[in-house]
Chain A
Amino acid sequence: MTSNPTTDSSTTDSSTADNPAADNPTAACADYTVGEPIADAKAPAGPIAERWDRRRFEAKLVNPANRRQKTVIVVGTGLAGGAAGATLAEQGYHVVQFCFQDSPRRAHSIAAQGGINAAKNYRNDGDSIRRLFYDTVKGGDFRARESNVHRLAQVSVEIIDQCVAQGVPFAREYGGLLDTRSFGGVQVSRTFYARGQTGQQLLLGAYQSLSRQIAAGSVEMHARTEMLDLLVVDGRARGIVARDLVTGEVSAYLADAVVLATGGYGNVFHLSTNAKNSNATAIWRAHRRGAYFANPCFTQIHPTCIPRSGDHQSKLTLMSESLRNDGRIWVPRTAGDTRSPELIPEHERDYYLERIYPAFGNLVPRDIASRAAKNVCDEGRGVGPGGQGVYLDFADAIARLGRAAVEAKYGNLFEMYQRITAEDPYQVPMRIYPAIHYTMGGLWVDYDLQTTVPGLFAIGEANFSDHGANRLGASALMQGLADGYFVLPATLADYLAQVPSAPVPGDHPELTTVLAEVSDRLKRLLAVDGDRTPESFHRELGELLWDECGMARDEAGLRRALARIPELREEFWRRLAVPGGGEELNQTLEKANRLVDYFELAELMCLDALHRTESCGGHFRTESQTPGGEAARKDEEFGYVAAWEFTGGAPVLHREELTFTEVHPTQRSYA
């Protein structure tokens, strides 16, 4: 490793205190340098199906009697964080856990609708661990690490058992056994679900287990407390700096290891399906302290969201991918056809996914469905206000199955759609349009889920590890719970068993420095006293990213964004308005502070997108497409993970070469 994790531009820059922009270098870093390659040194060699067993056997254990002496900080209480906190506490560690919400039950995992994949093969339809592994590597467009994905498929089986034992009320058949359905990109039925609220039910299962540990005193829970920086002492992660959102107090919390389970960074786009307060500060601050950031340009655009209704729009709402099991997607055959859908006869409709991809039809992967929707809208065949929409039509399903059956499967989604749009999807087709939904990129981690900062682990959407350049539906829940319940608890023990746990003195200079930096940043945000709201900057940044680093990207646009972001950031530090003080509940200050990190992250995303001149998965460079308009990968040149090191100036690119011994990379075909 070439980085020195304790060095940070803002700690070495003596002008920080009096120069508001020093925290955010204004140099347009459209360039970067290339550093040493990076490799995952933790995955054992040998047959892929045996690697996880071998790693678990070789991992050192912590004597049960010593676990209580080990403190682990877990940031976030979603599926990954909630599962990890509960499991580590059950094992006997002392867990100190944080969430910015008022309760650990509210993390954004709760909004996941459709389901969770597992290679149970209860349907006897040819599913297996091997097939789930294969589908995930292929679905990710061959940009994920084989050993991690195989482990995910193996562990998936145990997740369902665990959740059922907790009382998660999955959908069942009349015989009392579990029901499953299909999701995009696969030809088996392996998705377990709880109506359209699978994420909620899985999260409540983890939350209840966590609550049991909180009540037992094994987990010290800090709700309404947001991590604002990472403490790295003697080259190891030893704690965090966090702000009590009610009193505004900024404090240091110390531990033997730190686990980030803080989710993705989709909200950098302003409008996304993420919860309003989901943010990138924890992972970005960790990045600034030495954790490499992998594949930041791999963002997922979900094909089926409710189109925006106006400029007031504060967020977008997803309509579950499971709807594509029974709904048929279409637009009028001719551009400019503004007739209402029931007046357009069958032969004047274009069921374009069924036409272009007959094998998978409406169930092609998300990146392909999103781009196809954009293409037909770009041709002027989009429907609804502004032509930014396509129909998702249930008329055939209602005729075939009856309204009651459709209602039983999708009732709550239909209700949600109707509440938002005031249109009845039983009568008229839904209108949908793609929106930012998930981020495959995240902190670089090895097979043990450890970042490049020793003692700092990243789990769930916060890491980059399993989904390559495109995530398949119902795989986020699977990964979050795999990491939290099963993977991290095994690999973290190996780390804790090997490091001495000399306590960090409370007056250590690093603590004093970082606490002062965090307080100083908040004070500077309050002191600008300008005339623009944080929201207005966020909206402008998001629109810029959506236009230039969204569904289709090209060099000119990415360069435009890279030139514009520093200007916007400069304006932010000049014109920002944040009323109120720092020592109270101040939601405007929270938002402004998150934006500081979005500006820097947005720049790295554009730089990553610019350097990767191939198309793969959700990253579509218009310069790199097949004659048929599909993403054209360049495996020779880009068959690697781009892991970026923060320097304060031009970032350093470290490549992790991907080798495929089990699944041979091919042009993905869903036709």
Chain B
Amino acid sequence: MNLTLRIWRQSGPDAPGELTTYQVSGISPEMSFLEMLDTLNEELILRGEVPVAFDHDCREGICGACGMVINGQAHGPERTTTCQLHMRHFQDGEVIDVEPWRSAAFPVVKDLVVDRSAFDRIIGSGGYITAPTGSAPDAHATPVPKEAADLAFEHAECIGCGACVAACPNGSAMLFTAAKVVHLNVLPQGAPERRGRVRAMVGAMDAEGFGGCTNTGECASACPKGIGLNAIGTLNREFLRGGR
């Protein structure tokens, strides 16, 4: 396949950026999107040009490092991570726009690399259960109904990639925050800190400059792990409970 790429190039956080056009040829449909970018970067290095910077690591869809807006969609046309998107979903001759996550709370570091440390600070504000090492009772001391365990798991699957924020017209981090609140609040182990957790996390989220939620639902349709919009409903309910 031969493709035309229009990629956002920005040398640093304060530098101006622009879309730069590149041609790539000999792309196999079996390649992942990142392998296609690897191919471009190899050519750029040989031409003495600075390759396109992008975050990536596991390339299995689980570490959450990669993420770019492809043709206007977070992670591109398939509901998966960028590393698991394969070129068979594109046509020969296609023009593909590649941009970084865009959100005030995710400043650009370089090219397609953004700073998502705001997510870490939201987790640090309350996205945990206080259980210092060595303090735990036997694992079977508290049975957890299977439904609760499954629900917790489905929300704990969040990989922290930031696609939800990138897809949201308001740049809201509600889905990310909600996923962690649901994971921990439905478990009996998470119950003692339930109220404080939701208030602290929502407070941290607002302090980081993420936008508000207007129930657009783009976040849930971009989420590569399929975390649903219901989570945000639960977050709101937990928040109201927490205020009492």
Contact = CB atoms under 8 A, between A and B. Distances in A.
Given A208-B127, A579-B48, A585-B109, A111 B35 contact: no
A108 interface: yes
Interface stretch (A123-131, A209-217, A386-394, A436-444): A209-217
A310 B183 contact: no
B140 A587 contact: no
A668 to B, nearest CB: 31
B168 interface: no
A363 B84 CA distance: 29
Interface residues of B, number: 80
Contacts of B139: 120, 160-161, 163-164, 178
A31 to B, nearest CB: 37
Interface string A426-452: 000000000000000000000000000
Contacts of A204: 156
Interface stretch (A192-200, A462-470, A518-526): A192-200
A167 B38 contact: no
Nearest to A224: B109
Interface string B38-76: 110110111011110101111111111100000000000
Interface stretch (B142-150, B208-216, B234-242): B142-150
A95 to B, nearest CB: 13
Contact of B190 (A167, A195, A276, A422): A167
Contacts of B48: 577, 579
A169 B133 contact: no
Interface string A567-595: 00000000001111000110110000000
Interface in B114-142: 115-117, 119-121, 123-125, 127-140, 142
A309 interface: yes
Given A215-B124, A587-B53, A165 B135 contact: yes
A164 B189 contact: yes
Contact of A103 (B116, B133, B145): B116
B140 to A, nearest CB: 6
A87 B12 CA distance: 36
Contact of B57 (A108, A171, A208, A313): A108
A72 to B, nearest CB: 15
Nearest to A201: B156
A223 B136 CA distance: 29
Contact of B59 (A120, A275, A584): A275
A111 B116 CA distance: 20
A312 B34 CA distance: 10
A419 B32 CA distance: 10
B130 A212 contact: yes
A201 B12 contact: no
Contact of B65 (A102, A161, A178): A102
A211 B127 contact: yes
Given A166-B131, A207-B123, A172 B146 contact: yes
Nearest to A215: B124
A111 B63 contact: yes
Contact of B153 (A201, A313, A318): A201
A588 B145 CA distance: 49
Contact of B80 (A162, A170, A313, A419): A419
Contacts of B144: 172, 176
A162 B115 CA distance: 32
Contacts of A170: 149
Nearest to B184: A167
B59 A315 contact: yes
B31 interface: yes
B152 interface: yes
B160 interface: yes
A161 B140 CA distance: 8
A412 to B, nearest CB: 9
A90 B58 contact: no
Nearest to B39: A312
A197 B62 contact: yes
Contacts of B137: 161, 165
A639 B55 CA distance: 44
Given A167-B152, A204-B156, A577-B45, A211 B128 contact: yes
A420 interface: yes
B187 interface: yes
Interface string A531-542: 101011000000
A110 B58 contact: yes
B218 interface: no
A163 B189 CA distance: 11
Contact of B61 (A171, A178, A211, A416): A416
A158 B58 contact: no
A162 B60 contact: no
A208 B128 contact: yes
Contact of A314 (B59, B136, B142, B184): B59
Contacts of A177: 140, 143
Nearest to A112: B62
Given A103-B160, A211-B123, A312-B35, A162 B136 contact: yes
Contacts of B49: 579
A416 B124 CA distance: 31
B125 A90 contact: no
B30 interface: yes
Contacts of B150: 169, 172
Q: Which of B62, B88, B140 counts the most A-chain CB atoms under 10 A from its CB?
A: B62
Interface in B162-193: 183-184, 187, 189-190
A416 B153 contact: no
B12 A584 contact: yes
Interface in A468-501: 485-486, 489
B34 A246 contact: no
B57 A106 contact: yes
B113 interface: yes
B86 to A, nearest CB: 7
A437 B196 CA distance: 42
A214 B184 CA distance: 19
B9 interface: no
The 8 closest A-B pairs by CB, nearest first: A176-B143, A215-B124, A208-B128, A165-B136, A165-B131, A169-B153, A161-B136, A211-B124
18 contacts: A87-B133, A90-B132, A111-B63, A161-B138, A162-B131, A167-B131, A172-B143, A174-B146, A200-B62, A200-B159, A214-B124, A276-B58, A309-B28, A314-B32, A314-B35, A579-B50, A580-B50, A588-B45
Given A106-B58, A201-B153, A420-B86, 6 more contacts: A211-B123, A416-B61, A419-B86, A584-B11, A584-B110, A585-B109
